[in-house]
Chain A
Amino acid sequence: MYDVAIIGCGVIGSSIAYRLSGFDLKTVVLEKENDVAMGATRANSAIVHAGYDPAEGTLMAKLNVRSVDLTKELCEKLSVPYAQIGSLVLAFSDEESAHVQRLYDRGVANGVPGLKILSYSEAKAIEPNIADNVTSALYAPTAAVINPWEYALALAETAVVNGVELRLESPVDAIVKTDAGYAVTAGGETIEAKYVINAAGTEAGLIHDMVLPHTFDILPNKGEYYLLDKSEGTRAKHVVFQCPSKVGKGVLVSPTVHGNLIVGPNAVDCAAGDTSTSADDLAFVRKMAAKSIPSVDFRQNIRNFAGVRPNSTIDDFIIEAHDGFFDVAGIKSPGLASAAGIAEYVENLMRENGVALEKKADAVDTREQIRFKEMSHEERAELVKKDPTFGRVICRCETITEGEIVDAIRRPIVPRTVDAIKRRCCAGMGRCQGGFCGPRVVEILARELGCSRQDIDKDKTGSYIVRERED
């Protein structure tokens, strides 16, 4: 009998698992994919929004603003890449300048610190590549960029260190109310838990409907992106947004925490799990980005991708308790930015609903990560002397050593795929996109996991890479 079963191990499930792992609870996380952070968490703009966008009085506004500091603190503790670079919302007309003013007022009402409205020349001074027809801009110094999947991984990994059980490839098929709580059938096994937390992202509507009357729909909505080479990484210095308009919420241009440039997203309704890109949509993204920063060089593109937002029919996050079943659903933008606050909110909601939360004495709340590339010459020399596997560079583009890959494999949440390695230590994330290091990563994975190279998948289960040669 578990105390808590969390369904879904994206950034929301991970944040809640991390938070609850500090208490004396027996917790299990049920994730349908073969790794954590496989949904919206791994494909988004990777931004900790400042919090001026959500309407005053909403949970989104409250939790986003609350999470700005919490996220920063967590990233420090868990060694997650984070950079507070600030954001700009550009206006291109008097009408849009009025909208920027409204965003400013809303931000002030939401409690966002440090907001400023800049003239064109003030904006140009801090963001030199913006278009000439910018009329004004909202500057939010507390906005940050982050590595979202490493954030979720770090949270989940630390939760596992604290005794939380993570079951991968365990899609939930049924949930039945019992006298003691709930019986949850996932991946062919049924477990019992006193409390169930629904953090299932785009599937949260289906999970809700297994237990409760239908009250909301999840409306999956796709955003497509360009990720440009580091040679374009300084094209923008801040997260550069546009005002939302009739043709969409606006495309952003931003440096990533890794030093690349991210451009996107558009917004189109789609089926859950549809992360395909289309030529027309990508052309739209290019056109919109050029409006903010005309000089973006799309020839430096290294990857296109799409992520699916779990939008819903409710115009706010859906975080509610019903007899031991907790919905944490419809966590659309600013979901990543609000994750830390959502976990805190859920903890309080659990207390209010009579869940006993006793601090666990030996819980850890920090994590270390070795990053060879970021070390000084002296530190590198020391590290290689101690462990020669750090002397072999596997991913040339990102300078990732064999030692870092082996370290990732020996962590509490074992990566089994090439993309899982990429999410943990950035091997294959660079300009050659795994062309060189892919075969070597496959070899290291097979060696460390004691399987054959044919058993190694690229991403989802079944995405095999190579097959035996036939005689």
Chain B
Amino acid sequence: MAISSIDCAAALNRWRGRPLAEKTLITAGFLILALALPPWPGAALVGAVMLAVTFGGARVPPRHWLSVAVLPLGFLATGALTLLVQLGPDGFALAPGGAAAAAGLALRSFAAVICLLFLSFTTPAADLLSGLRRLGVPSEIVEIALLTYRFVFLLGDEAVAMTHAQRARLGHSTRRRWLRSTAMVIANLLPRAMDRARRMETGLAARGWQGEMRVIDDRPAASGAVLALILVAQAAVAALGVLL
């Protein structure tokens, strides 16, 4: 599982079995609120609610969650920094109101990241893709996306193994060697990816594949009551975010 620890967590968490529609409605609704409401108190409220849902409801391991959340926060820090200064004819100066703008942006983005991570940590990407099919995305595109998902893990393992083998033979000892070694991994990986594609074709043809990839989707359907409950909660957060 070198390529994605999130995927593992998504497959094992407590809410894995909950209907897809519930989890996507929670994510989409609160994402929209995070963007649409004023950062304070709206986005802050969204962030707080979603943290409670993530850790209290789905029981996502906090340590793992933090290690993933650090990455977007790096981008946020750099990006928010630029709001603190303004560029005039005399060069850079501190922007009046810059701190407030940066804080607002940080609050909004962070709330949105919390929503995204909730979805990532509770819902395997394959479940989401099968949901896209129901939303009317052409089945060919969904199938390609699903196969991509399958191949990501296979190729990822191969790339990791090749990189380890190179490192064992000092392939990364200088920057020049490193660049060349990485290029060799990439150059080896592409034909391997194509071979995999061909072999998968043989494997599927043996099972009577005639160009359509149908499987039975065994995921539970959402209940209207739960979805209504989620909408009510979101309306409440929206009202609080505007009125407070």
Q: Do A and B come from one complex?
A: no
B residues apposed to A, CB below 8 Å: none
A residues apposed to B, CB below 8 Å: none
